[in-house]
Structure 1
Amino acid sequence: MQHVESYYAATANAHEPWPELQESIRCDVCIIGGGFTGLSSALYLTEAGYDVVLLEAAKIGFGASGRNGGQVVNSYSRDVDVIEQRYGKDTAKMLGSMMFEGADIIRDRIDRYAIACDYRPGGIFAALNNRQMGHLRNQKASWARYGNHELELLDERGIRREVATDRYVGGLLDKRGGHLHPLNLALGEAEAIRRHGGRIYEQSAALKVEYGTPHRVKTARGDVSATFVIFAGNAYLPTQLEPRLGRKSMPCGSQIVTTEPLSRDLALSLLPNNHCVEDCNYLLDYFRLTADNRLLYGGGVVYGAREPEDIDALIRPKLLRTFPQLRDVKLSYRWSGNFLLTLSRMPQFGQLEKNVYFMQGDSGHGVTCTHLSGKLIAEVLRGQAERFDAFARLPHLPFPGGRRFKVPLTAMGAVWYALRDRLGV
């Protein structure tokens, strides 16, 4: 399998290919999945001296890591005030202490390994009504308590200086956020793993895992014996490979389009300071400029990860509602990708067997959370499990309706929240 036909695939950095696994090999750690979770884990572990093998069923960054909106968004899909209400002050304090770490890790990786991925600082949360603006005021205060003081509230005049639309009543600028080319970040991290001696195999899907001492991961033409196994496939992990991981999560699709290249003047008239933007709706829209002055625009959720028949019909009306001045601009690329949703909207970390771990379900905040999770699993293998366990202790709740009805019931719930967004209540 090759990358989907996206803007990212069309502008990916040149790199040497990785081979298919065609033999029996041994290692310390076998990682299943070549997205950000697996790459971050492999890079931290190879840096620490572990012998690491990473198996990817298709191409590095094939899934959400190479298809997402490219926004470096801090925190989790549930903010720290909700975490405190649900799980208590101690859990909120521990998770809050880590909620800006993922973005810092990304910037460190880019600098340390000179990864060319078009990173630009600054991300805006845009409010469509006064209720959402109140939420952003509370968010600014809670984030400041946990150390992020690089935040600026934007009133209606301020948001219009940042975004050339009349849709928003205000916003919150996070100067510790940003945006980038996610596939090129993934490819750069894979090259760093190779530099440290890690072995990466593409087109090498894990077909079966036999737990034991050592564990054995089988592919179509080879196998890996390893002391540790890490499941890092998220929405693209086959359910049959490890059924326990699919029971309390659900793949969901999001769609993205990019315009044809705009003139520099037109591009900067839309987003003068080149910040990325996401709105505060339950089913949110998100957009940014690319390095070659295209507008990249995404939004909506398809529950159950079905491929929509007409992505333009889903996204173009949203784009024009935000930027009607682009009505005559053509779309050059459109694609869909899946992320893994949990009922709590919090990541799911845990241990399945002795020396077998998983990290999944970042629920839309995967770019930053995956980079944090790689650091945490490396800490676990070095005997420091406190921070990993803070996530692992969170309850992993099943979706209502079970395997058969969880998709339609979740979609019905989303309609209710979307209605509340439209009504501003």
Structure 2
Amino acid sequence: MASPDRLDLIIFGATGFTGRHAVKEFIGLMKERPSLSWGIAGRSKAKLEQLLKTQSEQSGQDLSKVSIVVADVNDDDSLRSMAAHARVVVNCVGPYRFFGEQVVKACIEGGAHHVDVSGEPQYMERMQLQYHTAAKEKGVYIVSACGFDSIPADLGVVFFSQKFKGQVNSVESYLTSWSDAPRKGAAIHYGTWESAVHGVAHHHELPDLRRKLYPEKLPQFKPTLKPRKPLHKSDVVNAWCLPFPGSDRSVVYRSQRYFYESEKKRPIQMRPYVQCGSLFSALMTVLVAGIFFVMTKFKLGRSLLLQHPKIFSFGFISHEGPSEEAMQSTKFKMTFDLLGWSEELSEPTDNHVSMPDRRIIGEVQGTNPGYGATCVALLLAGLTALDEADKMPERGGVYAPGAAFAKTSLVEKLCKHGFTFEVIKEEDLK
């Protein structure tokens, strides 16, 4: 493992949009743990120095002792040097499809844990396929999706299944977000848009990748959780809902697959949805999503989407990203509907002879999901890997966050820093 003279944590890509917010949030977290040693990394030393100067002025904290590391995703030697000087690398450089693997490889070679905020299934699953064994041998953890996509979903399933008195069969999640102030300007940064464009464009890669990652299919568990109609009215949240297009389902599946194979637990089936404010907004969302999907299938379409994000997102996306006021006024809630049985069978492959007879409704809530909550979750994930590696699986490897942090105190840490995980309702269905 890492030598004692390494920095505890390095934020890589610190001068980017997500990186700047990660630095800001980490300064706040440092008040609780002033003894931690940390640094920031990126391509430009001048920009890194300016970032520390600006953050020092804004926070009133003395950041003169924060280390600066020059590292570039196009320079493997610089990445290896960075990893060799850190116990944990917090990677904020995306799209990870293009820039993630270099950092993952350097962290494994250098013996540093790695966390990132990727919402890109192709990247995450390919890293698990190619580097899981090497990471285990080196004793380091590689954990993606440690931000808003998909910490609430994956750890939410883990948390509420632990509260379930019995055996869970399935969970449906419903995501909603809202703002306490009128929207002015963009709501999402261009980097998220860019990742989405490439992710949808290359979605066809996933079936072959998954056949290699999981050559053996899971047993058939009943009752099967079938997808609802693409547009449906949910009684759980009393709203029109659409399938959630993000990576939550694939991330949760990876964790559940791990629990089944390593801990002999029945895997929980999961379907994620997103709430819409009205039927009209749902129909408009379907229209925009359809245009987006078609355009990603052609080189010219992808080029237009990337060159003109404001036009094709109706002003929701920009290179500048949302304002600080907009981010702080935005809140999110993810509702979980878990169904299962009050009795747990002895073997994970056994099927119950009766329909589910128990239900739990839970909620995860927070503020500023895109960048504030995301960065807090990312940093706390990194600190948990730093402090509680003995509670994480198999002394190393590539994992989804639910599998990586199920037995740690990460949920408790999240609840101390703006998140809530709460059981809303429990009922017997007999």
Bin the TM-score by the shorter chain.
Answer: under 0.3
TM-score w.r.t. the length of structure 2 is: 0.26
Higher percent of residues as helix: 2
Per the normalisation by structure 1, the TM-score is 0.26
